[in-house]
Structure formats: C-alpha cells, structure tokens
A and B are shown apart, each in its own frame.
Chain A
Amino acid sequence: MKDLRAIGVFALLVGLVPAFSHSGVILNWLMMALFATLLSQAWNVLGGFGGQFSFGHAVFFGTGAYTQVLLQLSWGLSPWLALGLAVLISAGLGAALGAVSFRYGLKGSYFALVTLAFAEVFRILALSVGFTGGGVGLMLPLSESFGNMQFSSRAGYVWLILCWVVVALLITAFLRHSRFGAYLQAVRDNEDAARALGVNPFTLKCAATMLSAGLMGAGGAFYLQVFQYIDPNLVYGSHTSISALVGAIVGGMGTLWGPVLGAMALELLSELTRNLFGELPGINLVIYGVLLILIMVFLPRGLVGLRERWVSRSQRARTPLGLAPKSPVTERLSAGELPVTQSERPTSGVGGHGDAA
C-alpha cells in the first residue's frame, strides 16, 4: 500500500510539471529522464529481481521500435494499436529467448553473453534484410495529431511515457509484494534452494524476461514516436542495453525507486556534460562506464544502498549483540509483510524497520 501511494504521488507530481512549465528544456529533459527510467526499470525486473544480467536488452527495444514502425507503414495501423502489438511481440520475443536460454540452464556470465549475441544477431539481420530498410533506416511520416500519437508539444510525450513508467513501477511493486516476486527473488538468491522448496525457476525466469522485454518494447515504440526515425544501429546498438543496465545498477538493483533515481541522475549528468563539452562522440558512455566501475567498487548496492547502509548502521548501534543482518527478503518474510502460507507465518511478528527504499 505504501508503495502504491508513493507511485501515485510520483505520477501526480511529475504529471503536473507540464501544466506549470512550458520550457522546452525542462520538458525535454523530463521526457528523456522518464524514458531512461522506463528502460532501467525494465532491466531491473529481470536483472534486479530475477538476478539474470542481460547485456543485450536492446534486442527487445529494437523489436518494439521496428514493430511499431512497420505496423504503421505497411499495414497503416493506428499507432495506439501498434503500440499494444509492439509490446506483445517484444514480450513474446522475451519469453522465447528466455525459454531457449533458461531451458539449457544458462546463467550468470553465460546468460549475459548469449543476450549480447542475440542483440548482435538482430542488429546484423536488420542491417541485411530488406523490409527493415537496412542501414538507411525507416522514417515515420510527420503528422501531428493525437490519433497519430505525435504531439505538437513535449507535454503529450511526457504524459505518454509517464504512463509507461507508472506501469513499470506497478510491476516492480507487484514483484516486491506478491508471492510471484518473492519466489523470483528466492530464485535469484539461491536457485537450488528455491527449487528444493518446490519453486519452478524456469517458469519464473521466463515470466520475468517476458515482463522485462514487454516494457523494453514499449520503450522502443515510444522512441520511434518521438524521433520518427530508426535504423538498426540506433535501436539494436549496445548503448541502449548499456544505459538500461547502468541506470538500474547506479540507482540500486532490485529496488523500486533505485532505477528511477539512477536513470534521472544519469540523464542529469549527460545533460551537464552536453553543456560542458558539447556533442563529443562517446563522452556520455565514458562517463557511464566510469560511474559503473565506481559504483561497483564503492557502492555495490547503488545509490539506494547509501540510505540502507545508513539505516543499518544506526540500527547496529542500537543492537547490543552483533547480530548478522538479514537479507531484505528474509527480513520481510519474517516480519509477515510478504504473503506466506499460514503455517509458515511466524506467530510473533517482530516488526522490521519498514520497507527498505
């Protein structure tokens, strides 16, 4: 409930920004920040909660973008209908690639490598086959109207992407509070133990990939609607995969607000570098890479981890015995916050320190 309220407040606050500000700079930044948030949150569903690190999330992004443009150009479908189909097809692709990878037990580094290879295969195929326009790319004709999902002001795009960010946040909140999410995190923390307890890791990981891919596909479709042009390197290129991953990790994997925080911070940072250095090729990704390394060295739990660290430190000061800190999931399970079957529920519910992040 607390999460839902927070998401509501977030949506309201962000949604009101276009009503008060007509500044193109602010709205543009907000739009790109929300867009980055959607990608990071999508990665977070699979990487943060499922523990499966994908290095090739661009494969779903690109598929969403291409579905969106092809359905409009070849079949003359309404972009609103196309958006739904783009999400479904990306999700389907996610389920398929996930099923293939997990069926053969790929995990950890191997999974990361295979996703990278999938993204590369799709990029090269999109460059080679005819209907994607090859390297020339595809252009969506400009005609601004609500029905065409092309808005004359940035405000329309801000609201559109905000809707998707809210969907992503709701999915993440669901992962935090549902049995499905608890199972998924159990698989992440110890797959063998989870299996021994009767959880089916294969189905769970496939479902997580599907959710994640669907969100990523929505991001791709949105990208097309905003920029009206795509080519294979743009949408299947590795920078999309990287910014999704870095945003989630910088903010904090497996948390609700971490990816939001991380993606917004990254967007702010890249805006600053754009002002400082101008449009130098690659400078953004250099900074992303440096940030990724620094975060891994000093703050492996991300920006959100800062707060948790502070909370646990002040708690440790209060406990006389140096008790080992419990993992968030166990803690919340024992605090009765997560749905467990009645017999498993501990009778004395000693309250935890509330929701982390």
Chain B
Amino acid sequence: MGAVYTLIALGLTLIYGVLHIINFAHGAALMAALFAVYGLNQVYGLDPYLSMGIVVPGMFVFGYGLQRFVIERASHERDENILLVTLGVSIVMENLALLLFHSDTRSIDTDYTLSTVTLLGCVLAKAKVISFVGAMVVSALLVVLIQKTDLGRAIRAVAKEKQGARLMGINVEHVYAMSFGIGMASLGAAAAFLLPSFYVNPTVGNGFVLVAFTIVVLGGMGSFLGAWVGGLLVGVVESVGGLFLGDSLGQVGIFLIFIVVLLFRPQGLFGAKS
C-alpha cells in the first residue's frame, strides 16, 4: 500500500508544487480511474496492468482539459476559488459515480488475485508485490521526468518563478495544464496497480485523498523525496494501526496524524521552518 500511496501523493505534490493549489478532486479522480480500470476489465476482459495503456493517457487528457478549461477559468487569480472549484469537481464526480454505479463495492478477479509468492521467508500476496514494485518504478520514472527532461525543467522553472519563466518564453498556462495532466496520469497508474488487490466504490477516493494529503504534508508540500518517505511511512502506520485497533479506528489514526502534522509541522518533516 505504501508504494501506491507514494504514487498518489507524488501526483498531488506535483500539482501543489507547480500550481500552488490543493487539488481537492484528487480522490475523486482516483475513484474515476479505478472505475475505468474496472470497466475495461469487465467489458473487454482487459488485464488491469495492461489497461494502464489506456487509463494513463486518458487521465492525462482529462487532467489537462480540467485545468485548462475549468480550473483556470474559475480561479480569477485567487487560491480560494481554485479550492472551491476542485471541491465542486470532486462532488460532481463522486455523485455521478453514485448515480451510475450505485454505492456497491466491486472488485475484480484475476488469476493472480489469490496467488502468493514467498520472499525472504515471508508469504506475500503476488498482486501486492507487483503493485509495490510497479508503483516504485513509475514514481522513479516520474522523478526522472521532472529532473531530466525539458518539460521537467519548464515545470520546475514555473514552480519557482512564474513571471521569470513567462519572460523566458515558457507558456505558463500550458505547463500548468501539463503538470495537472501528469498528476492525474500518475493516478491512472496507481489505479491499475491498486485494483487487483483492492476494491472500488464511489466514495473510495475520500479515504485516499486525506491519506495523500497527510503524506504530502508530512513530506513537505511540493517535495518529491518527502512524498516517497511519507508514503511508505503512512502505509506502515496504517497497517500497524489497523492490526492493533481494528479497521475503522485505524482510519482515525490516519486523520489524527494528519491533524497533528498540520498543526505542529505544516512545513513537513524535511521542510525548513519558514
């Protein structure tokens, strides 16, 4: 779980780092991606891992369009408006899913859902191992994209100094939408890794969105390394908490960590005190 959390949080932290907005629709978008993976599997019998080839570009286009045509227009240069618009988007998506798919919880069966592998004497679910390794690889790719490519440089330039980047001939609006699209695309990948060992229902995003926010805040807003460490940390805390307190109270643990982190270390574990 930790590695998938990392992937979700990376998307969120990318959007935050560049656009300086908190994307409230992150959980709902993950839910949509999960439903897309589920639908492709049910209707066309596509393997969840292979469906990434469709869902990831699909989510990218969705994210790009959302930023370009909805969020940008609604912002009127005020952060609060962006927050409210993304909240609106998440309300619409979540309830549209409720309307279309009802509140049933669904999961998929693959031939590897129940198979296990033995690693260093531990029996592990195969799907979880694949999702861990896969999510790690995709997160690494994401970091390479940001650090090494021209697009990545443009994104970092815009994140640091918007006006300066604009003067250098970077199309800021385009970069914004690209970042949003990449953030959404990483959700598509996360969804594909998640579904074989998880489930989907219209409100599944809610749990994840707060977890992702916790990770991002824990790791320091906009920091990639922080998102990695935070993701793994929260994954461990959740499993251990769930083991000792039961599932529902384990969730309270996550929220409490979130509140405590926000209150006492809003700059994150690695952030400097501003």
Q: Establish whether residues B249 and A289, one from each chain, have CB atoms under 8 Å apart when the complex forms.
A: no
- State how many angstroms separate the Cβ of B209 from the closest Cβ of chain A: 9
A4 sits at the interface (CB 8 A): no
Interface residues in B12-69 by Cβ distance below 8 A to A read 21-22
Knowing A124-B249, A297-B70, A297-B74, the reply to whether A106 touches B263 (Cβ < 8 A) is yes
CB pair A289–B92 under 8 Å, yes or no, is yes
* B interface footprint on A156-167 (CB within 8 Å = 1, 0 otherwise): 000000000000
Contacts of B89 in A (CB 8 A): 289, 293
Contact between B103 and A281, CB atoms less than 8 A apart? yes
| Residues A280 and B99 in contact in the complex (CB < 8 Å), given A121-B256, A128-B249 | yes
Chain B, residues 78-110, CB within 8 Å of chain A (1/0): the string is 111101110111111011101100110000000
With an 8 A cutoff between CB atoms, is B259 at the interface?
yes
User: Could you tell me the distance between the alpha carbons of A267 and B245 in the complex, rounded to whole angstroms?
Assistant: 41
| B180 sits at the interface (CB 8 A) | no
Contact code string B128-162 (vs A, CB < 8 Å = 1, else 0): 00000000000000000000000000000000000
- A66 adjacent to chain B (CB < 8 Å): no
User: How many residues in B have their beta carbons less than 8 Å from beta carbons of A?
Assistant: 42
Interface: B262 (CB within 8 A):
yes
Q: Considering only CB atoms, which chain A residue lies closest to B93 in the complex?
A: A289
Q: Do residues A292 and B88 form an inter-chain contact, with CB atoms below 8 A?
A: yes
A292/B79 contact (C-beta < 8 A), A104-B264, A121-B259, A280-B99 known? no
B-contacting residues, A98-112, CB 8 Å: 100-101, 104-106, 108-110, 112
Question: Known contacts A53-B83, A109-B22; is A125 also within 8 Å of B252 by CB?
Answer: yes
> Is B263 a contact partner of A113 (Cβ separation < 8 A)?
no
On whether the beta carbons of A286 and B99 are closer than 8 Å, the reply is yes
Highest count of chain A CB atoms <10 Å: which of B76, B89, B262: B262
In terms of DSSP, what is the predominant structure of the interface of chain B? Answer: helix
Q: How long is the Cα–Cα vector from A114 to B213 in the complex, in angstroms?
A: 10
Asked whether, in the complex, the Cβ of A113 is within 8 Å of the Cβ of B262, the reply is: yes
Cβ of B266 under 8 Å from chain A: yes
A114-B259, A284-B95, A296-B81 are known; give 9 further A-B pairs, CB within 8 A.
A53-B84, A104-B266, A106-B266, A112-B83, A114-B262, A117-B262, A128-B249, A128-B252, A289-B89
29 of the cross-chain contacts (CB-CB < 8 Å) are A51-B80, A53-B80, A53-B83, A105-B266, A106-B262, A109-B22, A113-B210, A113-B213, A113-B258, A113-B262, A117-B210, A238-B206, A242-B87, A245-B84, A249-B84, A280-B99, A284-B95, A286-B91, A286-B95, A292-B84, A293-B74, A293-B85, A293-B88, A293-B89, A296-B81, A296-B84, A296-B88, A297-B73, A300-B74
Which residues of B line the A interface, CB within 8 A?
Answer: 21-22, 70, 73-74, 76, 78-81, 83-85, 87-92, 94-96, 98-99, 102-103, 202, 206, 210, 213, 248-249, 251-252, 255-256, 258-259, 262-264, 266
